Every structure is written in C-alpha cells, then in structure tokens.
Amino acid sequence: MSPSLFLGKDKIKVEKRVVITGMGAITPIGNNVEELWNSIENKKCGIGEFTLVDGSKFKTKFAAEVKNYEPTDYFEAKQAKRFDRSSQLAIIAAREAFKDSGISKENTDFNKFGTYYSSGIAGLTTIQEQCGVYFEKGNTRVSPLFIPMGIANMPAGNVAIDLGLKGESISILSACASSTHAIGEAYRAIKHGYEDVILAGGTEAPICEMGVAGFENMKALTHATELDRASIPFDKERSGFVIAEGAGAIVLEELEHALNRGAKIYGEIVGYGSSTDAYHITSPDPEGTGGARAMERAIEDAHIKPEQINYINAHGTSTHLNDSTETKAIKIAFGDNASKVAVSSTKGNTGHLLGAAGVAEAIICTKAIQNSLVPPTINYKVQDEECDLDIVPNEARKQDINYAMSNSLGFGGHNASIIIKKYK
C-alpha cells in the first residue's frame, strides 16, 4: 500500500504510514508490558490501600501504586535522587520500549528520533518536598535541583538524555489527555515527514499528600470503602476515580524505515482527533459534543466509517459526569453503531493514571488487537441507564479487532482520540 497524497497550495505532499514498533510500561498491574497485559487478561485489580502516604489523614481509602518498585533496581543511588519519581517511571518505560523496538545507531539516525513525552502534573512530589524544606529550614536549604526536578517537561528531557534522542523533544500538558495528545502529535509529525521515529508516552507520580488532598477536596476521588467498589466505570454506584501512578511509552516509526531495518510491527496508528469543550475547568460539557468531535475527527483522519471500529477503550474514569458524558459523546460520534461497538474501561484494573492513562490504554488496545481479545470493565454490578453501551462487563470477550479507538478527556476540556489498526 503506497503512502497517500494530499494537495497543498504549491505542491503534493506525501502522507507516510506510522507503525508501532516498541512498547514499554510500568503500572499498578505490571512493571512491564507483558505483566500489564497478563493482568488485563486475568482481570487483576491494582488498587489497594495507600503506602506512599499516610492514608489515615484522608477520607479516600485507596490508590493504585506501582508494586515492588525500588529506584535503585533501575538507577544508581545518586542518579535516582536527581529524578522526580515521575521521571524515574518515564525512563523505565522508555527504556523498555526502546529495547523492544530493536532500534540502534546503526539502523536509525538519532537526529531524526524525537521524544514526545507528557505528564499531567509531573514533579508534584518534588514540589511538595521542597516547599516543606523552604518553610521549615529557609530558602538557602531549597535544593538547586528543585526546578529541573519539578518542571513538567523534564520527563521528556530526561528520557531524551537517557537514550540519546536528538530529534524534537516536546511535552504536551493537557491533564488526563496528555499522553494521547503526545501519541497523536507524534503520529502527525512522522506522517508529514518531520521525524523518522518518535518515542511517545506519558508518566505520572501524583500520590503524595498534596496530590491526594487536592483531588479529594475537589470531590474527584472515590469515597468507596470496599476495594472492589472503588474504581467502577459505568456502574451506577460510581463515586469518583482512584488516583494512580505509572508510565508508558511506545515507539512510533515511519513504515518504510521500520521495514528497511526489519522491525517487528505491533500495529498502525491511522487516526487522531482532538478538540476542546470550552465549557468548564474540571467538568466536561454535559452534552458530550466536545468528546464526540475528537472521535469524529479521528475517524475522518483514518478515512474509515464509525462501524469499522470494533473496540473503544473509553476514558471511563468512574466519575458520574465523565462516564455519562462519554456515553453521550460515543452515541453522537457513532450514531446507530454506538450500541454495537464494544466499549470498556480498564481503569477498574489500573486506577486513573492521569497524564499516563492514554499511553497505557493505547498499549492495552494494541495488545487487544494482537490477541483478538476485548478487555472487560471489571467490578461492574449495578446498571446505569445513563451508561447503556456494550461495556463488556466483568468478562473479556474473544473477538477479532481490526480497528480500536482510545479516548482521553482532561480537565480544562481537553479531548483526544486515536485509532489503532491491525497491521497488514
């Protein structure tokens, strides 16, 4: 299949195909991609009681933390201290994706290898710690590394430094849509010839006192007291999301570049759409038109019809407004096909990874395509008439998937959708 062409004012420009050739993850349900997918297949829930903060201080009982994680297993002790936890997780996922891709300086020009790595909050733990130092010990005791550890572009910067990637290095901050935007913009950059390869992804490490208090006081976190009722997307008894940490990365590559070096190909990015609600700082537009517009744009970009999409990994946060609004958005974008497409949320497994959610879910979509298996929405019990789609409750479904869509919706009204196709 040849690259498509589009007419510009003065010339014809080639649109290149963009494939996934590497994946990496560290999440509450697995510290690599294989563990992540096995946990999805086995309906594992990564949610539990707090260990990173004193949970007795909060009404919120649960979080989804990365398990069995020691920074010194991945970094020298001195090096680990120079990275905020968000950058540590970002580098770990990026290293896995990079190694998985088989890329080297012998087969790739690293000057055309970009880094699009995002976060919603990034260095929140460092910011909290150093503010404490300032108020307790004074300004002279604040770490000289406070700024480079705390600023939100540093996961991208640290990943690029760690791997020696010298193409564009960009951080897109759009709250919980951040890493889906990163993937989408990376896809566009390769599609239009600006880079040969981009490592795209996202990271988040928000489980500190300020992070939990901030989300809790805005009433975004669940008040559930039973573990299996904490993150329950589309369930009528949902009461908020479960705060989570983790990171994911995928290597996106121009198809001919990948073929020329004999790369294994996991899937193809074929569509990307983005929009803004322009409605409220935290609440989605209740009519769902903003989310629908992102999905419609992704479908148009992929040059397919809505009925060709077999699976949607929904944003599905387990908050009342998100799940009901996203249901409306899917109905607008998919019309009569909305009731026929499989829609599930894997945040019952992972909790809400915030800025890293999109990339983790893109990886899950890619594995779902490979394994012809639709992930279930776990812990579902009580049907909600407002969320009446085919949400694949509790049990995975064997099904061929040619096209999967992944949705992300963020505070500020940011919406992003990508479409992943089975590579043929």
Query: pLDDT in tens for each of the 424 residues of the chain?
Result: 445 555 555 555 689 999 999 999 999 999 999 999 999 999 999 999 999 999 999 999 999 999 999 999 999 999 999 999 999 999 999 999 999 999 999 999 999 999 999 999 999 999 999 999 999 999 999 999 999 999 999 999 999 999 999 999 999 999 999 999 999 999 999 999 999 999 999 999 999 999 999 999 999 999 999 999 999 999 999 999 999 999 999 999 999 999 999 999 999 999 999 999 999 999 999 999 999 999 999 999 999 999 999 999 999 999 999 999 999 999 999 999 999 999 999 999 999 999 999 999 999 999 999 999 999 999 999 999 999 999 999 999 999 999 999 999 999 999 999 999 999 8
Name the pairing type of β-strands 197-204 and 113-118. parallel
Residues 209, 53: contact at Cβ < 8 Å?
A: yes
Here the tokens at position 113 are 């290898």
| Helical residues (DSSP H) of 178-253, grouped into ranges | 178-191, 209-217
> According to the model, what pLDDT value does residue 1 have?
42
H or E stretch including 157?
helix 154-163
pLDDT of residue 14: 80
Instruction: Report which of 275, 276, 394, 404 is spatially closest to residue 346, judged by C-alpha positions.
Output: 394
φ, ψ at 134 (rounded to 5°): -60, -50
DSSP, collapsed to helix, strand or coil, labels residue 43 as coil
According to the model, what pLDDT value does residue 274 have?
Answer: 98
11: its two tokens: 């010339």
**270 Rama class: left (phi>0) / alpha (psi -120 to 50) / beta:** alpha
Q: Determine the pLDDT at residue 8.
A: 55
Percent of the chain with pLDDT over 70: 97
Residue 174 has what pLDDT? 97
Q: For residue 401, give both structure tokens.
A: 């998937």
Q: What is the pLDDT of residues 289-340, one digit of tens each?
A: 999 999 999 999 999 999 999 999 999 999 999 999 999 999 999 999 999 9
Number of helical H runs and strand E runs in the chain:
13, 16
What is the dihedral sign for C-alpha 149, 59, 355, 245?
Answer: positive
Global confidence as pTM: 0.96
In angstroms, rounded to a whole number, what is the distance separating the alpha carbons of residues 121 and 64? Answer: 17
Counting every residue, how long is the chain? 424
Structural domains present in the chain: 19-260 (3.40.47.10), 272-421 (3.40.47.10)
Residue 395: its pLDDT value, please? 98
* Beta strands at 267-276 and 18-26: parallel, antiparallel or unpaired: antiparallel
Determine contact, residues 418/407, Cβ cutoff 8 Å: no
Residue 403 in tokens: 């096209």
Whole-number Å distance between alpha carbons of 329 and 327:
5
Instruction: State whether the Cα torsion 384-386-387-390 is positive or negative.
Output: positive
Strands 342-344 and 113-118: unpaired
What is the separation of C-alpha 131 from the centre of its chain, rounded to a whole number of angstroms?
Answer: 29
Instruction: Report the candidate in 39, 74, 17, 55 with the shortest Cα–Cα distance to residue 378.
Output: 39
End-to-end CA distance of the chain, in Å? 10
Which residues are part of the catalytic machinery? 176, 315, 352
pLDDT of residue 291: 98
Query: Count of CB atoms within 10 A of residue 395's CB?
Result: 11
**Span 128-174, pLDDT tens digits:** 999 999 999 999 999 999 999 999 999 999 999 999 999 999 999 99
Pairing of strands 197-204, 169-170: unpaired
The one-character DSSP state at 400 is: -
Three-state DSSP class for 64? strand
Q: Identify the DSSP state of 394.
A: S
